[in-house]
Amino acid sequence: MNKKTFLLLAAALALGVLLGWGFFSHEAPETKVSSQEATPESTFTCSMHPQIRQKESGDCPICGMELIPVSQSRKQQEDTLAVAMSPTARELAQVQTATVGTTAPVKNISLTGKVQVDARHLYSQTAHFPGRIERLMVSAEGEWVKKGQVLAYVYAPELVRAQEELLEARKVREQQPALFRSAREKLHHWKLNEAQVQRILEAQKPLESFPIVADEAGYVLEKSIQQGDYLERGEKLYTMANLRKVWLLFDVYQSDISWVGKGDTVHFTLAALPGEEFKGTVSQVDPVIDPQTRVARARVVVANPQGHLRPEMFARGTLRARFDEEVIVVPETAVLWTGERSVVYVKRNGPEESYAMREVRLGPSLNPGFVVKEGLRPGEEVVVHGAFSVDAAAQLAGKPSMMNRTDRSGTKWHQPGRSRPDGAKAPVSKARSPAPNTVLKPLLQAYLDLKEALVQDDTTAALAQATILYQVFGEMKSKPLPAIWQRHQTKLRPVLAKAARAEEIEALRNYFVAISDHLVPIIRAAKPVQAPLYLQFCPMAQQGQGAYWLSRKVEVKNPYYGASMLTCGEVKETLP
């Protein structure tokens, strides 16, 4: 090997060493950074399923993607009461938010009712003197009677004697004018008018048959006598009503009472008069709730000069109610219910988008939406779609949720209606795990709330309660449950899912039959409450096949028919 070749080989070797050092010197820092990111204390999560938390790296047990270390900001976020969701998770859950503000809400309230007689123009025609009916001039119900029209002719012995006294007093009226005046007044007390008294004096003999005339004009609604009957003074002959004005009595459910007031205008239609629309003004709202139908009645006075509005006609009305002041309104989809609590999820701004549960105090229900009396401020951004998914993520992350006011550390959530500052902690003692039977209480309460909405024929409330019941059912899988749960939950799940998607109350009533059939055995076996429950049965439901339901009250209130057959049914069993 010559000197030139040796120098070339030495230069190539030096160049290779230099390049190798360059490559390996860049790999070392990367390895160092990776070791800093994935320390032994690191927590790994899935970008698609942020609820997954593991101490070691690996694949996601749900989707199989490689787990990544949780960032420091995410760890800091875990220390707050808010739950963070990655953009991918938000997209999969279809989370949508909206900024709340104040407005003067308007609610269209649908009403049902019936035409009724105006009680101020309803009266009884009575007999003014005792006797026997010789001839009945008005013998059919529904006839129109004019004021002063003869209704019947009566033979009245006492009236005959009074006439004889008048004729005898007439003979001595010059000597005893007071006696004549007294005899004349006695006939007036028997409701004989002056013309009849004058005819008696002109005939100079007593009349044996006297007419009973109508005191007021109106239609005969009820006839209480027959020809030949003996009457006592004051006995009712007819029930009559003047239908020049009628009442429309509309049922107002308890959830709508705060929206209906005196002076509101109601537009209504009648099935018997298609194509015609009427309107009237609310003159009174009942101050008490009817104990049978559980509704109050709004009275609308309507002129009826043509007589087209007839008592007992069914009517459907709409009342456009306005709130007197500007308030915060949120959509129905933003609110989650559990028992007496109502919660929304408020968006938190920061390095990562997160959502914190907030309890709110709701006011009247809108269609759709709710008035928020306390718990939100104008300008805050709330989840209006995908709230249940956010709540599920909060539960899986151990954060406060609608079913649990405490997080994994035992930190208790804020009081209802009050916003809690980030980082504020209120330690409480950790409670023991609930017994398998007691965890069914929220499910039972949601079921009973749905039953009550069906009893009241409240479509909006019933559809909302069906969704709540399905949500509460979904929470059961993370609870310690009694053994009987496994035998029925697979059959209960699909029918609850269908009920949550129902759009009409009648369809929901059909699903309620199956819900009761699957839930009753669970409640009977688990006994989640100490207070008695009553298993009730309606033989008319399901086209005569019959159906059961549970109630806290022994009084039967039928959820399958509502007001149309409210008390149809009987108590079959008392639980436990």
179 contacts: CB under 8 Å, gap ≥ 6: 169, 172, 173
* Structural domain includes residue 357: no
How do residues 473-522 score in pLDDT, each as one tens digit?
A: 877 665 566 666 667 777 888 888 888 888 888 889 999 998 988 888 88
Least confident of 73-77, 144-148, 236-240, 393-397: 73-77
Percent of the chain having pLDDT more than 90? Answer: 15
Q: Is residue 154 part of a domain?
A: yes
Calculate mean pLDDT across residues 252-263: 86
Q: Is residue 329 part of a domain?
A: no
**What's the pLDDT band for 269 if we cut at 50, 70, 90?**
very high
Assess whether 262 and 221 both reside in one domain.
Answer: no
pLDDT at 15 over 70: no
Concatenated DSSP letters for 109-148? EEEEEEEEE-GGGEEEEE-SS-EEEEEES--STT-EE-TT
**168 and 187 both lie in a single domain:** yes
Confidence of residue 265 (pLDDT cuts 50, 70, 90): very high
- Are 451 and 484 within one domain? yes
- Average predicted confidence (pLDDT) for the chain: 78
Q: How far apart are CA 355 and CA 391, in angstroms?
A: 9
Do 113 and 249 fall into the same domain? yes
For the residues 392-409, what does the mean pLDDT come to?
68
Q: What is the 3-state secondary structure (H, E, C) of 415-464?
A: CCCCCCCCCCCCECCCCCCCCCCHHHHHHHHHHHHHHHHHHCCCHHHHHH
Residue 359 lies inside a defined structural domain of this protein: no
Q: What is the pLDDT of residue 283?
A: 93
561 in the same domain as 443: yes
Among 139-153, 209-223, 430-444, which stretch is predicted with the lowest mean pLDDT? 430-444
Q: Clarify whether residues 568 and 456 are in a common domain.
A: yes
317 lies in some domain: yes
Do 230 and 250 belong to one domain? no
Average pLDDT over residues 434-442: 61
Task: Indicate the pairing of strand 44-45 with strand 277-285.
Answer: unpaired
CATH code of 277's domain: 2.40.30.170
At which of 211, 241, 271 does a domain end? 241
In a domain, residue 143? The reply is: yes
Total domain count, the chain: 4
Asked if 154 and 212 sit in the same domain, the reply is yes
Task: Name the more confident of 325 and 428.
Answer: 325
Calpha distance 526→439 (Å, rounded):
10
Residue 180 is part of a domain; what is its CATH number? 2.40.50.100
- Residue 316 lies inside a defined structural domain of this protein: yes
Query: Are both 557 and 485 inside the same structural domain?
Result: yes
Point out the domain boundary residue: 241, 258, 282: 241
Q: Which helix (H) or strand (E) holds 31?
A: helix 3-37
Asked whether residue 219 falls in the same domain as residue 250, the answer is no
Give the DSSP letter string of 344-392. Answer: EEEEE-SSS-EEEEEE-EEEEEETTEEEEEES--TT-EEEEESHHHHHH
Contact 407, 396 (CB under 8 A): no
Q: What is the pTM of this model?
A: 0.47
Residue 204 sits in the same domain as residue 261: no
> Considering the domain boundaries, does residue 22 fall inside one?
no
Domain of 474, in residue numbers: 438-575
CA pair distance 355, 527, nearest whole angstrom? 36
Where is the domain boundary, 191, 220, 241? 241
Sign of the torsion formed by the C-alpha atoms of 230, 234, 238 and 239? negative
In terms of pLDDT, which residue wins out, 193 or 302?
Answer: 302
285: pLDDT confidence band, cut at 50, 70 and 90? very high
Same domain membership, residue 135 and residue 234: yes
